[in-house]
Amino acid sequence: MARIRQSDLIDLWRTIEQAGGVRPYIDAQLAARGFVVQRRETDKMSDREKDAYKKSLKAEAEERRKLSRQAWAAHKATHIVHLGEGVFWADGRGPDKWDLPDAEARAAENELPPLDSAAQLAEALGLTVAELRWMTYHRDVASSVHYVRFTIPKRDGSERAIWAPLPKLKEAQRWILRNIVEKLLVHGSVHGFLAGRSTFTNASAHANSDLVVKVDIRNFFPTVTFPRVKGIFRKAGYREEVATLLALLCTESPREVVEHDGKRLYVGPSAKLEPVSIDMTEPLALSD
């Protein structure tokens, strides 16, 4: 099948929906193109008639397969379809028992943008649905990822791995940060990654104290898992579909970089997603 532009595939899916679905669309196209062959008994056919009849059936079947491939391409251009290993997804899934009562009202109360579907989220991020699927699709073993890995020294002399998002994902994460995350209520004691707050305001709260105890939580980031991040977006007022996509954009599997058969692979544990440690000068994903 010749490559079709995304805009044409989106238009094709609209046509399919107007026709009442894939099967009615294909049947109508076959009829319009003269490929519908009347089924007949072949017992009384001559060899020539039987050969012509078989050729017409074969031509119809080939045209049906061609139309089916085009319809599937159009479906994938407008639907997420699948998000990879260990990630539950169902296109167009309705409300479920985990939804907040009046979830949309909660989102509006938090002054969050209304996002009811994958298509709406993609449009808000300036992406196609296919691009959104590409950015959120999870593989335990990947030959490429949406992050660049580098390290920075820790105070104890060891190294901290930083996974910096590539430009397109970074732009999407910035949109989520500005339009959703920064609008959510946080505890008054929080000073990190908040506008108007800093290490100075954090220290000022303890000025003139007789005793100050400093605690560093070891391996904090791995404790903030994909389900927990998804739960934050659901609690904010987004339903399953959109909350899943937002959480996938803000999390990544903890990966090891390995060489195998001359190829570089990024390997992560099965069904375990967690926020990455982004450049601390400006956080782009949910963090502590």
If you count them, how many residues does the chain have?
A: 288
The pLDDT of residue 61 is 94
Residue with more model confidence, 43 or 108: 108
**Are the beta carbons of 235 and 100 closer than 8 angstroms?**
yes
- Is 60 exceeded by the pLDDT of residue 51? yes
Whole-model pTM: value is 0.81
Among 41-50, 58-67, 141-150, 244-253, name the one with the lowest average pLDDT: 41-50
Give mean pLDDT, residues 36-57: 85
Among 165-179, 199-213, 270-284, name the one with the lowest average pLDDT: 270-284
Residue with more model confidence, 201 or 272: 201
Indicate the average pLDDT of the chain. 86
Give the C-alpha distances (Å, rounded to integers) separating 242 from 95, 110, 171, 255.
12, 16, 18, 25
Give mean pLDDT, residues 177-206: 89
Give mean pLDDT, residues 148-158: 88
The pLDDT of residue 275 is 54
pLDDT tens by residue, 221-279: 778 889 999 999 999 999 999 999 999 999 988 888 888 888 888 888 763 445 544 34
The pLDDT of residue 39 is 80
Distance CA 70, CA 50 (A): 30
Give mean pLDDT, residues 40-66: 89
Say which residues have a Cβ less than 8 Å from residue 111's Cβ, sequence separation at least 6. Answer: 183
Domain extent listing, the chain:
6-78, 103-267
Give mean pLDDT, residues 132-148: 92
Among 100-104, 204-208, 243-247, name the one with the lowest average pLDDT: 100-104
Name the band, by pLDDT with cuts 50, 70 and 90, for residue 2.
low
Pairing, β 263-267 against β 141-142? antiparallel
